[in-house]
């Protein structure tokens, strides 16, 4: 069996986004499933748009997604270099082969002339194609014009008859009439390659067995297949995966919630959850199962299960899935993961003892873990547990329902009196004391719990009251109850005073 070798070849002109990340994931899973090689190749021939910052952002995003590469930047490999900008000798070698076999010709047509031809074709409602003006120039004329300093690109000689057909591993049989294609440019005057030629040279040189990419590249495939044919080489197998659309059926964009992979990481998504979500954009194991570990994906993945229909991006599903993964973490794991977000919000002191800091966060996380959807939720969910007793805010709704105008003052004062003498101050005794008090006063326990929660946390909704009180401790609970009494005192009738 031919060795499985696949590649992910990003252009370093920006960050890695959802579509590119899915392409990388599908290639990586295919390689790992078959025990093959996953190669990272950087298509940086456009130096005006490429940058070292983008290369670093892409490689960092791949690492976060746990997609390691067997050959490529930083790890090397036998088919390097893995930057197109460093592969000029490879491209020149293949170009020389095509020149020697009369498969290409020099074209001297100016950009202005080509644009004029294009405009005329569009006005006639015809597809713009090169007219073949320089196709039959004699060698003497070519030599003379080059000697005069005229610039000439290299065009492939399209056969113009027949068709280019191949069996796509996702889409099935695909064919393109060559009559609808022109003599396309493969290299600039200096011999530097254009995209389709460079890709063919690289895939041949790196012995790529399968090209798995988005179907936006489908139109490039016939040109690449013609070049393989001209070089007398066997092409790789192609698999064009469907595009990803927003919920409204339009092209995926930021307005649908999609952004760079780096942004997802900063926002607090877990790599495992994001990969799980990403693989389901165009692949399905069955109609019932959606949750997979990375190793389970490696074992289950196959191109036969990749659909040719467009995948629909669903931000709500991604958040749901991330929340599920967050709830599967141990409290220790979640606490360690949210510390940076809490430190950025000023809720933990980055200079304090790490063990002390983590212990405090761990207690808070344990109370609120079920509510997490993102790691970045931590400041919002945990702030009332971590700030000083006089700093947590009060929600307007909680105040109106339970505290304003001295509502439930007697309950708060009675609770404070209970807590002062409660020994030991632990979960069991706190719960027993509060429930006994409610029963003694003939109140439903909720009539006691809700105002106490509002006073202690400033919120209507929160963790279990008794667990929260144990976490805060006796002195903090007493200070918070007194703060609520002071902030929302009982309104006395006119003329009445204490």
Catalytic positions: 254
- Residues with Cβ within 8 Å of residue 453, at least 6 apart in sequence: 398, 459, 460, 462, 465, 468
Contact (CB, 8 A) for 276 and 292: yes
Question: In the structure encoding, which two tokens stand for residue 136, read together?
Answer: 């039959």
Question: In the structure encoding, which two tokens stand for residue 216, read together?
Answer: 């936006």
Going by C-alpha positions, the residue among 141, 36, 44 that lies closest to residue 84 is 44
Q: Give the Cα separation of 144 and 269 in Å (integer).
A: 62
Q: Give the Cα separation of 347 and 20 in Å (integer).
A: 36
107 backbone dihedrals φ, ψ, rounded to 5°: -120, 125
Q: Give the Cα separation of 487 and 398 in Å (integer).
A: 13
With H, G, I as helix, E, B as strand and everything else as coil, classify residue 6: strand
Q: Give the Cα separation of 452 and 438 in Å (integer).
A: 12
Going by C-alpha positions, the residue among 64, 59, 38 that lies closest to residue 273 is 64
- Token look-up 């209970």 returns 418
468-474-479 Cα angle (round to 5): 95
Task: Tell me the three-class secondary structure of 127-165, residue by residue.
Answer: CCCCCCCCCCCCHHHHHHHHHCCCCCEEEECCCCCCEEE
Going by C-alpha positions, the residue among 235, 221, 212 that lies closest to residue 184 is 221
DSSP designation for 308: S
Maximum Cα interatomic distance, the chain, rounded to a whole number of Å:
114
For residue 382, CA distances in Å to 36, 200, 267, 346, 348 come to 45, 54, 16, 12, 11
Which contacts of 380-384 are long-range, i.e. CB under 8 A and separated by 24 or more positions?
A: 382/338, 382/342, 382/347, 383/345, 383/347, 384/457, 384/458, 384/459, 384/462
With H, G, I as helix, E, B as strand and everything else as coil, classify residue 42: strand
Dihedral class, residue 15 (left if φ above 0, else alpha if ψ from -120 to 50, else beta) = beta
Q: Give the Cα separation of 149 and 245 in Å (integer).
A: 48
Contact (CB, 8 A) for 108 and 136: no
Contact (CB, 8 A) for 445 and 412: no
């Amino acid at each position: 069996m031919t060795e499985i070798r696949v590649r992910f070849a990003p252009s370093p002109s920006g960050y890695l986004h959802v579509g590119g990340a899915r392409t990388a994931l599908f290639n990586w899973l295919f390689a790992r499933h078959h025990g093959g090689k996953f190669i990272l190749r950087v298509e940086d021939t456009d130096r005006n748009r490429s940058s070292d910052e983008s290369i670093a952002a892409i490689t960092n995003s791949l690492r976060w997604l746990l997609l390691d590469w067997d050959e490529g930047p930083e790890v090397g490999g036998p088919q390097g270099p893995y930057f197109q900008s460093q592969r000029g000798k490879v491209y020149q070698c293949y170009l020389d082969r095509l020149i020697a076999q009369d498969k290409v010709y020099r074209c001297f047509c100016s950009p202005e002339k080509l644009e004029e031809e294009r405009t005329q074709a569009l006005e006639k409602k015809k597809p713009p194609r090169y007219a073949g003006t320089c196709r039959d120039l004699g060698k003497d004329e070519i030599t003379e014009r080059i000697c005069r300093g005229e610039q000439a690109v290299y065009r492939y000689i399209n056969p113009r008859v027949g068709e280019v057909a191949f069996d796509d591993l996702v889409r099935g049989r695909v064919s393109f009439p060559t009559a609808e294609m022109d003599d396309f440019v493969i290299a600039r005057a200096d011999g530097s390659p254009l995209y389709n030629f460079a890709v063919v040279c690289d895939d041949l040189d790196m012995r790529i067995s399968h090209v798995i990419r988005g179907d936006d590249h489908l139109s490039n495939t016939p040109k690449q297949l013609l070049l393989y044919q001209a070089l007398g080489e066997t092409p790789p197998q192609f698999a064009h995966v469907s595009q990803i659309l927003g919920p409204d059926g339009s092209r995926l964009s930021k307005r649908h919630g999609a952004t760079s992979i780096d942004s997802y990481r900063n926002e607090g998504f877990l790599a495992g959850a994001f990969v799980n979500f990403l693989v389901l954009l165009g692949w399905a194991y069955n109609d019932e199962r959606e949750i997979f570990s990375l190793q389970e994906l490696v074992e289950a993945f196959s191109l036969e299960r990749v659909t040719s229909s467009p995948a629909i991006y669903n931000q709500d599903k991604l958040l749901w899935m991330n929340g599920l993964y967050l709830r599967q973490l141990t409290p220790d794991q979640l606490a360690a993961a949210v510390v940076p977000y809490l430190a950025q919000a000023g809720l933990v002191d980055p200079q304090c003892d790490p063990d002390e800091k983590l212990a405090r966060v761990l207690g808070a996380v344990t109370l609120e873990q079920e509510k997490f959807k993102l790691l970045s939720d931590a400041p919002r969910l945990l702030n009332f547990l971590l700030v000083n007793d006089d700093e947590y805010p009060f929600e307007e709704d909680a105040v109106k329902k339970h505290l304003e105008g001295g509502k439930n003052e007697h309950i708060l004062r009675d609770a404070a009196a209970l807590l002062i003498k409660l020994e030991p101050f632990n979960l069991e005794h706190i719960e027993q004391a509060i429930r006994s008090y409610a029963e003694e006063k003939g109140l439903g326990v909720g009539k006691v719990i809700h105002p106490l929660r509002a006073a202690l946390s400033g919120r209507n909704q929160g963790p279990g009251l008794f667990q929260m009180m144990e976490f805060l401790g006796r002195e903090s609970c007493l200070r918070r109850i007194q703060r609520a009494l002071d902030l929302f005192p009982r309104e006395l009738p006119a003329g009445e005073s204490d």
